[in-house]
Amino acid sequence: MVHLNGKIRRLLPLGLIVALLAAGVVLGLKVPGLFRRKIVFSVQVRASLEKVLNINELHTVEYVYNSYAVAYEKPELLELYDRLQPAASSLQAWSRGIQSGQYSYTSVMTWLSAYHAFFGKYTTRASVSAGFTDEDLPLLNALGYADKDALLRDFDTEESYAEYVLLGNLADDISVWSNDGENLSQLSEFVSLSRSGVAKDIAGEKYAVAYEGTVTAGIDKPVTFTVDEALKKIIVHIPAVKILDINVNIPADKENKSVITRSKKYVNSLDWFNEASMLCKTDLTKKIAADAAFLQVARENARNAVRALVSPFERTTGFSFEFEEERQ
């Protein structure tokens, strides 16, 4: 009996250990991570990630353009033509009214002044409904409306209202063009011309010059991040991509082969090259602004580059990564 008891005494510690281990397995199943290493985003890891993402400038896309730009005698008239196009139908109606004697120059300019004052203050139908006061009534009467309800009935959509907001914004431009009424009756013809017709016949082409251009886009400030310890998640904030550099080059040669056309009076001009260089850079800037695909590629490349930089941390820290992109 003594021997048996002695044997049992020797086995009790081992049995207890087995029982505790079994309980631990059960607890481990019920409480995930009980025996696993606790995942912590340490100060050292944070410092390392900050160092990796401390990007002062990252070029993500570069485009090379071969194009040409045109210089005009009166570029301001071509710019005016572009601004007036959304309101062309109203301007044509006014011009025809002046030509037929239905409207006078003075009445049209009075309308423009009223448009400028009223639609400059109330830029949407909603703003009229919310903010119109009795103090605005004389101005509204000058526009030919008895009250705000009559105005809102006439402009039953924000789109139709927006055209007259544009007219109000263009009041100064139209006043300059009108030259005290001399040209206002010709405004209908001006806005109905093709853009190429305005460029050649009214703005007056001086010369067209071929150029090579390079545009670089990317991000120019550090990528930042925030850490959510509870969700074991890191949110990476990617700055908005932007145009970083625009360079143009007009191929130099003695015969000026880069110049496609040039008026005789500019043949011996000493400063045409400086003017042409500025012209080409402006032209390329406008073309890039209209090229939605360019910045889209820049954004995609920036995102992929940042993902590549943080991927080692994603594999080793146990944290998931999400990416947010700033938009301009």
Give the model confidence (pLDDT) of 243-270 as tens digits. 889 999 887 654 555 666 556 566 556 5
8 A C-beta contact, residue 276 and residue 250? yes
DSSP state of 132: -
**166-179 mean pLDDT:** 70
DSSP state of 74: -
In 3-state terms, what secondary structure has residue 262? strand
Among residues 131, 126, 118, the alpha carbon closest in space to that of 168 is found at 118
Locate the DSSP E strands across 283-326. Answer: 320-325
309 Cβ partners below 8 Å, 6+ apart? 52, 53, 223
Q: Kindly indicate the confidence band of residue 159, based on its pLDDT and cuts at 50, 70 and 90.
A: confident
DSSP state of 182: T
pLDDT at 14 over 50: no
Is pTM, for the whole model, over 0.85? no
Percent of the chain with pLDDT over 90: 3
pLDDT of residue 22: 38
pLDDT of residue 263: 60
Question: Alpha-carbon distance 204 to 271, whole Å?
Answer: 19
In 3-state terms, what secondary structure has residue 299? helix
**295-311 mean pLDDT:** 87
Look-up of token digits 């210089």: 71
**Integer Rg of the chain from CA:** 36
pLDDT of residue 13: 41
Higher confidence at residue 268 or residue 285?
A: 285
H or E segment and range at residue 290: none
**22-45 mean pLDDT:** 46
Q: Kindly indicate the confidence band of residue 310, based on its pLDDT and cuts at 50, 70 and 90.
A: confident
8 A C-beta contact, residue 79 and residue 165? no
Question: Alpha-carbon distance 45 to 43, whole Å?
Answer: 6
H or E segment and range at residue 319: none
pLDDT at 182 over 70: no
In tens, the pLDDT along 85-126 reads 877 877 777 777 777 878 777 777 777 778 888 888 888 888
Look-up of token digits 């009076």: 265
pLDDT of residue 27: 35
Q: Which of 25-29, 42-46, 238-242, 259-263 has the highest mean pLDDT?
A: 238-242
Within 13 Å, how many C-alpha atoms sit on residue 186's CB side?
Answer: 10
Q: Kindly indicate the confidence band of residue 23, based on its pLDDT and cuts at 50, 70 and 90.
A: very low
Percent of the chain with pLDDT over 70: 76
Q: What distances in angstroms separate CA 307 from CA 55, 241, 303, 325, one per listed residue? A: 13, 15, 6, 12
pLDDT of residue 134: 87
Helices (H), 40-184: 43-53, 75-84, 88-100, 105-121, 125-131, 137-142, 148-154, 158-169, 171-178
In tens, the pLDDT along 132-141 reads 888 888 888 8
Work out the angle between the directed axes of helices 105-121 and 88-100 (0-180°, nearest 10): 150
pLDDT at 3 over 80: no
Question: Alpha-carbon distance 116 to 324, whole Å?
Answer: 41
pLDDT of residue 32: 42
8 A C-beta contact, residue 108 and residue 98? yes
pLDDT at 29 over 70: no
pLDDT of residue 181: 54
Question: Alpha-carbon distance 93 to 163, whole Å?
Answer: 14
Name which of 42-56, 167-181, 210-224, 244-258 the model is least confident about.
167-181
CA 238 to chain CA centroid, Å, is 16
pLDDT of residue 306: 87
How close are the terminal C-alpha atoms of the chain, in Å?
88
Name which of 13-22, 222-231, 274-283 the model is least confident about.
13-22
